[in-house]
Amino acid sequence: MEYIFSDKLASMKPSAIREIFKSLADPTIISFAAGNPSPLSFPAEEFGALAADIFANHSTAALQYGTTEGYTPLIGEVDKRLESKFNIKGDGDQTIITTGGQQGIELACKALCNEGDTVVCENPSFIGALNAFRSCGCETVGVPLSDDGINTDELEKTLEANPKAKLLYLIPTFHNPAGITSTLENRKQVYEIALRHKVIIIEDNPYGELRFAGEDVPTIKSIDTEGIVLYCSSFSKILSAGMRVGFIRGPREVIQKMVIAKQVEDVHTNNFFQMLCYRFITEYDLDAHIEKIRELYRNKCSLMLDCLDKNLPACIKYTRPEGGLFIWCTLPDELDAKEFVQRALVKKVAVVPGATFNPDQNAPSQSFRLNYSTPSDEAIIRGVEALGEVAREMIK
Amino acid sequence: MEYIFSDKLASMKPSAIREIFKSLADPTIISFAAGNPSPLSFPAEEFGALAADIFANHSTAALQYGTTEGYTPLIGEVDKRLESKFNIKGDGDQTIITTGGQQGIELACKALCNEGDTVVCENPSFIGALNAFRSCGCETVGVPLSDDGINTDELEKTLEANPKAKLLYLIPTFHNPAGITSTLENRKQVYEIALRHKVIIIEDNPYGELRFAGEDVPTIKSIDTEGIVLYCSSFSKILSAGMRVGFIRGPREVIQKMVIAKQVEDVHTNNFFQMLCYRFITEYDLDAHIEKIRELYRNKCSLMLDCLDKNLPACIKYTRPEGGLFIWCTLPDELDAKEFVQRALVKKVAVVPGATFNPDQNAPSQSFRLNYSTPSDEAIIRGVEALGEVAREMIK
């Protein structure tokens, strides 16, 4: 039998990150390629205690079908936290629980875009989101990311040039892969531009709780008076990635359409873990737990930056994140980025090539992404030394 | 802001079943409307013991990101069981874990169908599948279901009349909602017809383990030599529906495309429950557990059939299932089915109107679905008495 695939999926390949992950089966390789949270961030002991109670005393609710919107008490806690930590409120909005933050992004695109529509993204952007938009048959168009956020002049031009642009996808805080946080001034400008062009913003904020330096910047959602921002996030980086519990909040009318789309994808998100999240939030100190994660990443990021300062030649630039999981390195034009990544792998250090994150799938990139949350301190020191060796070998 | 939705979702409404569920908030209503497994089928105690060990000794694997394909040891156990219980084997195939059986159906359509394509279904068919196909922008076309399975003459005609038919969706065993099981002869004919028309079959078998009378009929997948059958099922009806763990098996090339589609939907299925399923299967007696569920449903189905025999006038026909969760009742043409369902609700008995399950969304139906797995014995007795009263009131 010769199989004929749908147009939107026929050209899609497994992501380059997955291919790199295969090389990670070699335990001698130091991986800066992952996007995983540190296992030290998982509250396994507390989850164990709560699980014992749920299976003993609330098993029917945990193991039976639930509602597509999610476990109501958890939604209540999410809404409380969005208001207290991110100044996100508003009666016209609704929050639903999604199977990881990823599902919220995909459902938004499915509800709002036809095949052939355009999703405008920062360049670089999160590969999982880019592929979600592509899987809906949408074109992804990138707008350069500067130190203070997406380039607003270029954003304006891009939206003018793309009348089929329906969504603007942004990771304003501790950007993946770029590690930068946009300024409030940038956020206000971006919001005004999107509103003028009647484009819905997806504000993806999975790392928002992971600030380890500097001051919080208000979310775009918190300045949204016209109902054009969908805000999505998850518990993946603060409780567990493997449980797949996230959420999305936005105008009720849009969220209701996403509920229909979610129902046909997976009916609802795992009930037991929705209850577990609710119980953890209400019975333990989530803020104290997050503070421990921040401390851990503060130290790891600081160590990696120190190593980069010490080992990399000045011609290689990199971001200095105030939170999140990633540092973004950019090579000077005279160094071949593909060769750099290849040579690093020969020296047993895996990084993710920047082209992976380019909304334009055929464009090259002079950058690569480094993750500091997963590797050990020793791996960070040795791995960055190896990257320095590669740079010096290529420059001479 | 005025929101414009995607063409494929703009016309979709929440399913009628969900609307009926709202009326179930009234605790005085007897519900035959659910599709839930009995809570007695959840092995809560065993899950509690396994959970304690996983959180104590294997928490990183359970709480960290996993692979999109699923937890490898669980896939191994699924494949073993598919071979031993359903005679499904073959080197060209691959199995992946999905977030409930629902996701397998939706991913198959996403991978294989363009908007405007046709999915041929039994009439009636499972509303969750019908809506999944519609959410992909596909048209659902129904072929009448007879006592021995889908009407093969009509299937032939329908495929000839619909050159854009890409998928044939079937629930051959303990059909939802019709409760019937197709014969081996019917399955062979259906397979030949699909092969001749180069149409991929989705064989959905969520109830396959729940036979409480009669003899097993070979799965269509087990007679598939040409790689045209995707077989999907789940643990929802034998371990827990709320955990959302299912699987789909089919030709590797097709499954690989579905992996890409799954990755952008939810990255992977909840890791902890994949491990829990694996541990339950390998450390407890799954067959003995299922035998208890069969015994329970055998008794409940038998009770409901006895009550129907006693209370309903002979002009109302109903199926006598050998497994699964549902009985399908059909009213004579002279009785108004909508009025029947309404009158039943006035008497505090909820059933699902047959039109819900019609692939043709505008077609009426003389039938309704009864579920016997969820209500108590007393509720079955009282509820069917009330249905008998409604029938007698309408006939006189």
Nearest-angstrom CA–CA distance, B126 and B328: 13
Give yes or no: residues B55 and B105 share one domain: yes
Nearest to B60 among A42, A251, A253 (CB): A42
Identify the pLDDT of residue B392: 95
Picking from A12, A4, A9, the residue whose alpha carbon sits closest to that of residue B166 is A4
Q: Apex CA A208: angle with CA A207 and CA A211, to 5°?
A: 90
Write out the two tokens for A32: 């800066």
Under the banding of pLDDT at 50, 70 and 90, the label for residue B117 is very high
Indicate the burial class of A183 (C-beta count within 10 angstroms; 0-12, 13-18, 19 or more).
middle
From the list B9, B61, B64, the residue facing A110 with the nearest CB is B9
Check whether residue A262 and residue A134 sit in a common domain: yes
Contact A60 B66 (CB under 8 A): no
Residue of A8, A20, A42, A64 for testing the chain B interface, max B β-carbons within 10 Å: A64
Coil vs helix vs strand at B319? coil
Indicate the SS3 state at residue A318: strand
Express each pLDDT in B219-276 by its tens digit. Answer: 999 999 999 999 999 999 999 999 999 999 999 999 999 999 999 999 999 999 999 9
pLDDT for A17 beyond 80: no
Phi, psi (deg, nearest 5) at residue B40: -65, -15
0.90 exceeded by pTM: yes
Give the model confidence (pLDDT) of A144-174 as tens digits.
Answer: 999 999 999 999 999 999 999 999 999 999 9
Q: Name which of A229-243, A382-396, B14-28 the model is least confident about.
A: B14-28
Residue A155 structure tokens: 């954003």
| Chain A residue with minimum CA distance to B126 | A264
For chain A, what percent of residues have pLDDT higher than 70?
98
CB contact under 8 A, A99 and B102: no
Answer whether A270 sits within 8 Å of B271, measured CB to CB: no
Out of A2-6, A100-104, B190-194, B300-304, least confident range: A2-6
- Contact between chains at B5 and A112 (C-beta distance less than 8 A): yes
> Both A296 and A168 in a single domain?
no
Sorted by sequence, the CB contacts under 8 Å of residue A215 that are 6+ apart come out as: none
**Do residues A197 and A159 make contact, with C-beta atoms less than 8 angstroms apart?**
yes
Helix, strand, coil percent values for chain B (each to nearest 5): 45, 15, 35
Judgement on whether residues A269 and A299 belong to the same structural domain of the protein: no
pLDDT tens profile B46-65? 999 999 999 999 999 999 99
d(CA A291, CA A293): 5
Q: Are residues A308 and A245 in the same domain?
A: no
What are residue B234's DSSP bridge partners? B246
Instruction: Give the span between the Cα atoms of B118 and A99, in whole angstroms.
Output: 29
Q: Which CATH number do you get for residue A233?
A: 3.40.640.10
User: Within a domain: residue B2?
Assistant: no
Q: What pLDDT is stored for residue B17 in this prediction? A: 67
Q: How far apart are the first and last CA of chain B?
A: 54
Q: Band of the pLDDT at B324, cuts 50, 70, 90?
A: very high
Band of the pLDDT at B15, cuts 50, 70, 90?
Answer: low
Same domain (yes/no): A365, A328: yes
Q: Is residue A1 part of a domain?
A: no
Residues 27-66 of chain B whose Cβ lies under 8 A from any Cβ of chain A:
35-37, 39, 42, 44-45, 47-48, 51-52, 55-56, 59-66
Count the domains in chain B.
Answer: 2
Residues A239 and A373 in one domain: no
What is the distance between the alpha carbons of residues B43 and A104, in angstroms, rounded to a whole number? 31
Domain boundary among B283, B303, B321: B283
Range of the domain at A364: 7-42+288-395
Residue B237 and residue B114: Cα distance in Å, rounded?
31
Verify that B248 and B334 share a domain, yes or no. no
Can you tell me the mean pLDDT for B15-38? Answer: 80
Quickly state the pLDDT bin for A90 (edges 50, 70, 90): confident
Quote the ipTM score. Answer: 0.96
As a residue count, chain A comes to 396
Tokens of B332: 């004579």
Evaluate whether residue B60 is within a structural domain.
yes
- The reply to whether A196 and A314 lie within a common domain is no
Q: Are residues A240 and A296 in the same domain?
A: no
